[in-house]
Structure 1
Amino acid sequence: MKKLLYFLLLFLIFNCKDKTPKEHTFYYWKTNLALNNEEKTALQNAKVPLLYTRFFDVDIVAGKFQPVGVITKDASFQTDKKIVPVVFIKNEAFLHINKEEIKFLAESIHNLIQKKSAELQLNTNNELQIDCDWTAGTKDDYFKFLETLKQISGKQITCTLRLHQVKDKKATGIPPVQKVYLMCYATSSPLENSTKNSILDVPTLKNYLSDLDDYPLRMDIALPIYSWGIVTNFENKHKLINALTIQDLKNNTNFIKISENTFKLKQDGFYFGMYLSKDFTIKIESVAQNDLDETLAFIDDKISEYNIIYYQLDRRFLKNYQF
C-alpha cells in the first residue's frame, strides 16, 4: 500500500501542470492617451511593468506610406509602466514593395516613434512591436522590413502572431524576431453570416492552435476583453461598430431587445457615429470569462511560460473580468 501511495504521489507531481496565475498587463489602443481612475487602478495592479501602446497605423494613401491616427496625450495619462510602442501596418503595404521602400518605411516609423516619445514625454523601453497580418505572399518583404527596422532602431523588434500564422506556419513562415505575441481572438470575420462568436470561439481557436507547442519562438498571449456591435441591414450585409456594449443599446430607447444579445432599431438616425435605418439589427458580441479561462487552460497544456496582455485597457470592459 505504501509503495502504491508513493507512486501515486510521484504521478501527481510530474503530471500536474502549474496552475498559478500568469502575470498580465494591457494593450492601450486609443488615439488620445488618457486614463481614468478605474484604468489607472487596473494598470497599477498589473505586475508586468509594461504597457503596450499603439502609436499609429501605417496605410497606403495615394500610393504613399502614410501614418494614420497618430497618438496625442492628455494630462491624465500618468503611469510608472514603461511604454512599448506598437505600430499597426496593413498587409497591403508589403505588396509590390521594393528594397528602397522597405528602408524608407523602417526609417520613417523609427523616426516618428522617436519624435512622439520625446514630444509626449513617454518612458519607452527597448522594444518596438509591429502588428501586421502578413501572408505567404508578403512574408519575405515583411520579414526583411523587421530585420531592417532592428538595424535602424537598435531596438528589440517583436511582432504579433495571428492564429492562421500558427496553423499555416510552413506557408506564412517564422518571423525573424526573438518573441511574438499570439492574438487569441478574431477567430472569424464579424462580417460573415455565422452563429459563432467572431471575437473568440474556443473550439475554432483550439483547431488553429493544435500544434502551438511546435512553434519555435518564445511568446506572450494576448486575450480579448472587449465587445463590438455587428449591424445587419435589409440585404443581410454587415458593418462593425467597435467597442459597442449591450448597455449602450439598453440605455437608448430607440432600440428594442429581440434576443439575448440582439437589438432592433425603432427609427432612422445617427447612432454611434453611423447612420442607421429603422429595423436594422445590431448583434453585440463579447467574451465571457469562462471562455478566457478555457483558452488559458488549453494554452497551459501547450506552453509553460508566458505573460498575458489583455486587449484592451478600457473602463467599460474592466469590470466584466477577473485579473
Structure 2
Amino acid sequence: MRTLTLFCLALLTMVSCSDKKSHPYTFYYWKTRLTLNTDEKEALNQATAPYLYARFFDVDQAGGRIQPVGVITKDRSFATDKKLVPVVFITNRTFLHISRDEISLLAKNINHLVQAKTSEYHLNTAPEIQIDCDWTAGTRDDYFTFLKELKQLSGKTITCTLRLHQVKDKKQAGIPPVQKVYLMCYSTSSPLESSDKNSILDVNTLKNYLADIDQYPVGNIDVALPIYSWGIVTNHLKKHRLINGLSQKDLNNRHFKKISENEAEIEQDGFYFGSYLSKGFRIKVEEISDEQLRDVVRFLNKKIHGFTIVYYQLDHQFIKGQNFSI
C-alpha cells in the first residue's frame, strides 16, 4: 500500500511538472535600425526559440501612392545566431480601393524589397515572411488576394498577425489564407479613450474576445504577448496622447502629485520625458505584470496547444527584470 501511495505521488509530481513546462519564446524587433545593446543581446541569446521577428518596413498609402515607410537599416555590430523572420506592417487603408493590378504590383515590390534588404545586409533569414495588417471586412478580399500573390511570388511561407476583433468577428473578418497566424494578445482597447481599464492588456476583455479561439480554423497559432509600457497624458480639454516607455517609477517626481499607484498630476510646467507638459496635466502609466501574462498563458493553454510566445518588443527599457519563461 505504501509503495502504491509513493507511486501515485511520483506520478502526480511528473504530471504537475509537465504542466509547468515553459513555452519556447523569442521577440519582435520593431526599431528602424538593427542594433543591439548588451542587455538586448543577452535577452535574445537566452530566448529559447530560434527566430527573431524583425520589422523590415511599413507600407502605407498617401496621396494616391503606395510606398514603403521606415525601411530598416543595420548597424555593423549587429549579430545574432537567430534567424530573422522579416515582418512587414501594411496599413489597412493601403487595401482600400486597390485594383487587381495594384495588388500584384504590391506583392512584387514587397518581395523585392525584402530580398534586397536581406542581400544588402547579409541577413540570415528564415523561409517566412510575416505580414502585419489590421484588415477589416471591407478590405479582407483584397488583402487575402495579396497574401496568395506574395506566397506565389516569394516561394516562402507567408504568415500573418491576427488581432482580437478578427477572432471574435471571424464571419465578417474572414479567415486569412495562411497556414499559421500570430495571435496578438494586446491592444484590448484604445489608450486614447477615457477608461479605468489597462488599454494594453485587460485580461477579462481578452478572454471574452478569445472565448472560441479553440475553434479558429487555422491549425497553427503562435502567441504575441506585450512587455511594453507607456504613459497616457491627458490635458485640460481631456485630449489624450502617448509617451512610450514610461513606468510607474517615472511618476516619482517632486513636481508630480501622485493620485494613485499608476497616475499623477503635474504641479509645475516643464519638460518631462522629452515633452512640454503643463500644470494640471495628468499622466496614467500602463504596464504589464508577470501575473497578467501568466493568466493569459494559463487561459490559452486550455485553448491552444504547443504555441511559441513572441514578446513585443525587444528593447532594453522593457526587458530588465522580466521572467520570459512562462
TM-score, with structure 1 as normaliser: 0.92
The answer on 1:192 being equivalent to 2:193 is: yes
Tell me the equivalent position of 2:247.
245
Q: CA RMSD in A?
A: 2.5
- Cα distance per residue 1:113-158 (max 9 Å; x no partner): 1111122221111000000011111100000010011111111100
In the alignment, residue 303 of structure 2 is paired with which amino acid? Answer: K
Q: Matched residues in 1 for 2:279 and 2:75: separation?
A: 38
Whether 1:97 and 2:98 are equivalent positions in the alignment is yes
Seen in structure 2, the aligned counterparts of structure 1 residues 15 and 215 have a Cα distance that, compared at 3 Å, is farther
Task: Please name the residue that 1:37 is paired with.
Answer: 38
Structure 2 CA distance for aligned equivalents of residues 204 and 111 of structure 1: 39
Gaps of 5+ in 2: none
How do residues 265-284 of structure 1 correspond to structure 2 at under 5 angstroms?
265-284=266-285
Q: CA deviation at 1:195?
A: 0.3
Number of residue equivalences: 320
The answer for unaligned runs of 5 or more in structure 1 is: none
**CA drift at 1:112:** 1.2
Is the CA contact (8 Å cut-off) linking 1:229 and 1:243 kept in structure 2?
A: yes
Whole-Å separation in 2 of the counterparts to 1:6 and 1:171:
52
CA distance in 1, matches of 2:255, 2:70: 31
1:17–1:300 contact (8 Å) kept in structure 2 = no
The alignment partner of 2:188 has SS state of coil
Cross-structure match for 2:139: 138
1:175-254 correspondence runs (5 A): 175-217=176-218, 218-250=220-252, 254=255
Structure 2 letter corresponding to 1:133: D
Q: 2:55 matched to 1:59?
A: no
Q: How does 1:87-166 map to 2 (within 5 A)?
A: 87-166=88-167
1:245-290 deviations in Å (ceiling 9; x for gaps): 334444x654443321112234444544544322211111001110
Q: Distance in 1 between matches of 2:44 and 2:12?
A: 39
Aligned mates of 1:204, 1:179 — CA distance in 2? 24
Q: 4+ runs of 1 displaced by more than 6 Å? A: 5-17
For structure 1, which segment, 306-315 or 274-283, has the greater mean C-alpha deviation from structure 2 after superposition?
Answer: 274-283
Cα distance in 1, alignment partners of residues 8 and 250 from structure 2: 57
Question: Could you tell me whether the CA contact under 8 Å between 2:245 and 2:318 is conserved in 1?
Answer: no
Query: Comparing 197-206 with 59-68, which one deviates more in the overlay?
Result: 59-68
CA spacing shift, 1:13–1:121, aligned 2, 3 Å:
closer
- Is the contact between residue 251 and residue 263 of structure 2 (CA under 8 Å) also seen in structure 1? no
The CA distance in 2 between the partners of 1:296 and 1:148, in whole Å, is 34
- 1:231–1:73 CA distance, 2 compared to 1 (3 A): same
Counterparts of 1:18 and 1:269 in 2: how far apart (Å)? 51
Cα distance in 1, alignment partners of residues 103 and 188 from structure 2: 30
Cα distance in structure 1, aligned partners of 2:255 and 2:33:
30
Task: State the identity as a percent.
Answer: 62
| Shift, 1:315, TM fit | 1.6
Pair 284,14 (structure 1): closer, same or farther in 2 beyond 3 Å: closer
Shift of 1:316: 1.3
Q: For 2:260, what is the secondary structure of its paired residue?
A: coil
Alpha-carbon distance in structure 2 between the residues aligned to 1:269 and 1:75 = 38
| TM-score normalised by the chain length of structure 2 | 0.91
Question: Displacement of 1:54 after TM fit?
Answer: 0.5
